[in-house]
Amino acid sequence: MLRIGLFLLTNLAIIVVASISLSLLGVNSILANNGVDLNLQSLLIFCAVFGFAGSFISLLLSKFMAKMSTGTKIIQHPESADERWLVETVAELAKKAGIGMPEVGIFPAQQSNAFATGWNRNNALVAVSAGLLQRFDREQARAVLAHEIGHVANGDMITLSLIQGVINTFVMFFARLIGFFVDRVILKNERGLGLGYWITTIVAEIFLGILASTIVMWFSRQREFRADAAGASLAGRGAMISALQKLQQETASHVENQMPDTLTAFGISSGWKQRPSRLFMTHPPLEERIEALRFG
C-alpha cells in the first residue's frame, strides 16, 4: 500500500469526482466536436481548472481532516506541565521562524511521531503523539517540533499543492488524449464517445497517476531534508540528530506505527511496517537524513 498521505488521498477522491462531473456536465463533448477535430486548448483549460481545484480543496481541508483522522486534542488551556511546555515551545519556535502561532495538539498514538499541516503558514496545526512526549527528552522533542515548524515556515504544503495541481492537470489531459485516440483511431468509433474511450481513460488515469505520484514522492523526500535543516537551525544540529537517532532506535525495536496511513506522509517518521520502493517513499531513510545533517 502506497502511503501517499492525507493530502494526496483527499486529492485523489476530488479528482475522481471532478472527472465524473466533467462527463455528467457534458464537458467531455469537446473531445467529439467536429468529428476527429480535438480542441486541445479547451481540454487543457478544463483539466487545469479541475486539477488545481482538487489540489487546493485538499489543502484547505487538510487541517480538519488531520484532526479527525488522528483524534488530535487541541490544547486550548494547558492542563499539565507537558501541555504547558508544548505550547510554550511551539510559540517560541514559531516566533523564531517568523510565522504565526499554530494550533497545538496531542494525538493518542504510542509511536513517536508528529505532524504539521494547514493551508496558511500563519494558521497551521502542529501535533505530537502521546508516545513522543513520554519517551523523548525535552531537547529531542523540541527538535521534532522545530522540524514541523520548519515545514510550516518553508511553505511545504503550498508548494506541494502547486506541484500536485500541475500533475493533476497533465494526468487528466493525457488520459483523455489516450482515450480519444483509442476510441476514434483504433476502434474507429465515429458516434460520440464510445465505451472504449471511457474504459481507456479510466485505466490511463490510474496508470499515469501512479507514475506521476513518484514525482510527488520525490518532492516529499526533498522537503524532509529541508525541514530537518530548518529544525537544526531552530533547535540545534545536535538536538535534531539526537531526535532522528531516537526514531532509529524505535525503528529497530519495531514500535508499531499508530499514525493513520493517510497521514504518514506528514509525520516526522513515515513508519516501517512496509518498505515500498524508494520511488514511492514519502521520507528518505533516517540514516540518510542523519548523514545530511552531519555533513551537509
* Gyration radius (Cα) of the chain, Å: 22
pLDDT at position 87? 97
Residues 110 and 139 in one domain: yes
pLDDT tens-digit series, residues 162-180: 888 888 888 988 898 888 8
Q: pTM for the full model?
A: 0.81
Containing 127, the helix (H) or strand (E) segment is: strand 125-129
Co-location of 149 and 163 in the same domain:
no
Q: Please give the residue that has the higher pLDDT: either 137 or 263.
A: 137
Question: Do 12 and 145 have their domain in common?
Answer: no
Residue 180 lies inside a defined structural domain of this protein: yes
The CATH number of the domain where 107 resides is what?
3.30.2010.10
pLDDT of amino acid 34: 41
Assess if residue 68 is contained within a domain.
no
Structural domain for 195, as ranges: 5-63+157-213
The last residue of one of the domains, among 195, 213, 231, is 213
CA dist 293 and 242 (Å) reads: 11
For the question of residue 148 being annotated catalytic, the response is yes
Active-site residue, selected from the candidate residues 148, 205, 224, 250: 148
Number of domains in the chain: 2
Average pLDDT, the chain: 82
Q: Is the pLDDT of residue 161 over 60?
A: yes
The predicted structure's pLDDT at residue 278: 73
pLDDT band at 115 (very low <50, low <70, confident <90, very high): very high
The amino acid sitting at 11 is N
CA-to-CA distance for 141 and 235, rounded, in angstroms? Answer: 10
Minimal CA–CA distance to 140: which of 132, 152, 131? 132
Does residue 88 lie within any of the structural domains? yes
Domain end among 178, 213, 248: 213
Cell of 244: 532522528
CA–CA gap between residue 45 and residue 177 (Å, rounded):
14
**197 near 179, Cβ under 8 Å?**
yes
Element (H, E) at 221: helix 195-235
What's the pLDDT at 187? 84
In a domain, 237, yes or no: yes
Shared domain for 199 and 283, answered yes or no, is no
What is the C-alpha to C-alpha distance for residues 36 and 256, in angstroms, rounded to an integer?
55
Question: Which position has the higher pLDDT, 54 or 5?
Answer: 54
- 78 and 199 co-located in one domain: no
